Chain A
């Protein structure tokens, strides 16, 4: 039996979205329920979403979520009380501190990887870099598991600090390009989003395109041609929803609240995209790689981060979206407790923190502890795998289930780890 209807005739493409969502393969029972109309309706009515705010370069846990004032590593800043008695944050996050009752802190992270690229891989895929297999990023997994098949907008979008947009097929790995991210460089819409005035939407021309496409597919259909077709169709839907990418349509008062700077604009765009139904949005804020003058630079960077972050939490809460949106603030790693001779902090993955909020989490909680000067985890040590499990548990998914690239079972999250159950609602 030819199990593949692609032109190549191999088994390499036998696991696709249809199969994954309930095609009868053993072990997929956890997802089969999603294919029932009732479940689909429910999913649509309470669509789960995820927002990752990636503080590029490695934000200092000591200047954010796990301050150690008046110790040999603490630096010059105060720890301030938050809206949750007993939990303190750095004074550099006054607005976030007022919203600790919405947040969940994980303070015992040890990812054992101090290199930027590999650290990012751990945090975005939940696994260490492995030879021979590339794992999909959290955004691709979220898009695959949570995006309605009829969604008009891409399920996986990232907003980067600088210009240059594009399509990043690598970050979806074996899930396929449909779930890869679209980059909005500096929050600008995808290139060529708007149809040039010289082109018509002539139905006859579209019918002719479909006819040629179908004829080609009959003899030369492949995963690649299917991806092209899907991309084209997706692009047509996106063009019809071009306004979703235009943050300038937001109330100017909202822009004032978020801050009239790039990161404020990017966070407002993130809110808009989530509201428009995009499943996963990642906003990067650069840069925190402060080997030199860590304290001056954290004043500047966190001064830019704090307010838009707080405003977005407020808005999600006010709109009733926080219950269905998981928010995660992460980096590649943290920074060394030891202050170097240039007032810098270097890379440190052995004891650092992530902040989360929203969907499926216990709000106002902090799990994990580090020692008095923050050099080591002393309680509830977790790694990127634990976090990855936690994200999808919080989003209502079972991360112990498998994907089946090339027919081989690959667990959604690292089977050596498990969710941080203490913080799951």
Chain B
């Protein structure tokens, strides 16, 4: 599969009807889960186009992550990939668990592949908002963070609390497991990123992303936070996205920015949009070739692509709504946007199929 970011185009427009808050593809790539301002999570089946509503939260959900159950699906039975409009997805549902965290502090477990999933476990995980949820690479632990300034680890299997990591002094906006599974990073409103050793629970180092934070003295309030975070597959880089250069916090006047850290030396590199776009970056990820992709919005939305070597914004796609979240499909060539207009837009970055010659 050849990725050509200049060929990025809308593959599907999945409508929900209420403003969306977050989105994630499940590990198999068949489903897209989108959370909404109506407190529901919506599961879009990309093969059948079936839409299922998951009811169980009583507030908004921003954090979603998955625990696949490989033991329940012998390798020999892993279904073949079906091709749907250039999108790779498994045809037969593979059991997996969806974990979702809401703004009332509840962390819910769901069997994501069921016809009508219902939460089978609820943990009162945080006082106030859960802002992010991540699952460890070995699928044993779940990490959550929130407005209580805490990072917490839970057993993915039974929901037992495993550890609480204290040290942030503002709302914790995001977190991510290092691909090695040995470290976890958490990032807060004020742009402080903490790198935790999971074996000891100790803070190993801190990274400075304060460029994302400002105390707007005119309005008497803080604005900032790391809105999206991702490691590259090799675990050598960490990308964070948010808003910077804020001149009016209450109107959202500022610019999206990605800070790309080289984890060997902790040095940051600033990836800026080429255009003078005003708004917030809400999602960031790495394509298989290392290209950094971010998405966000102000009055409308954008998808930006950067070459991490020279920080050049190599391509930009206009999105017809404020992109409040972005998810990268497991195939690495497809991404989804959670739109403020209530639609999930799925974009393909595959090289466009050659037009067959006319007979």
Contacts and interface: CB of A to CB of B under 8 A. Distances in A.
Interface residues of B, number: 34
Interface string B211-229: 0000000111111000000
A61 B299 CA distance: 25
Contact of A292 (B37, B104, B147, B252): B252
A57 B250 contact: yes
B37 A72 contact: yes
A286 B219 CA distance: 6
Interface string A188-223: 000000000000000000000000000000000000
Interface string B86-115: 000000000000000011100000000000
Contacts, number: 72
B103 A342 contact: no
B304 interface: no
Contact of A70 (B19, B39, B171): B39
A293 interface: yes
Contacts of B60: 76
Interface in A264-303: 285-287, 289-293, 296-297, 299-301
B255 to A, nearest CB: 14
A70 B259 CA distance: 36
A293 B340 CA distance: 13
A339 B20 CA distance: 12
B322 interface: yes
A293 B18 contact: no
A70 B250 contact: no
Nearest to A344: B252
A341 interface: yes
Contacts of B19: 339, 341
Interface in B10-41: 18-19, 37-39
A235 B322 CA distance: 56
A342 B298 contact: yes
Given A72-B37, A78-B59, A292 B18 contact: no
Contacts of A344: 250, 252
Given A287-B219, A287-B221, A341-B297, A292 B58 contact: no
Contacts of A289: 219, 250
Contacts of A341: 19, 297, 299, 321-322, 340-341
B251 interface: yes
A77 B128 CA distance: 9
A161 interface: yes
Q: Which 3 A-B pairs rank lowest in CB-CB distance, beginning with the nearest?
A: A292-B252, A341-B340, A76-B103
5 contacts: A70-B39, A76-B104, A287-B220, A291-B250, A292-B249
Interface of A: 57, 69-70, 72, 76-78, 161, 262, 285-287, 289-293, 296-297, 299-301, 339, 341-342, 344
Given A72-B18, A285-B220, A342-B298, 13 more contacts: A69-B58, A72-B37, A77-B59, A286-B219, A287-B218, A287-B219, A287-B250, A292-B252, A296-B223, A297-B250, A300-B222, A341-B322, A344-B250
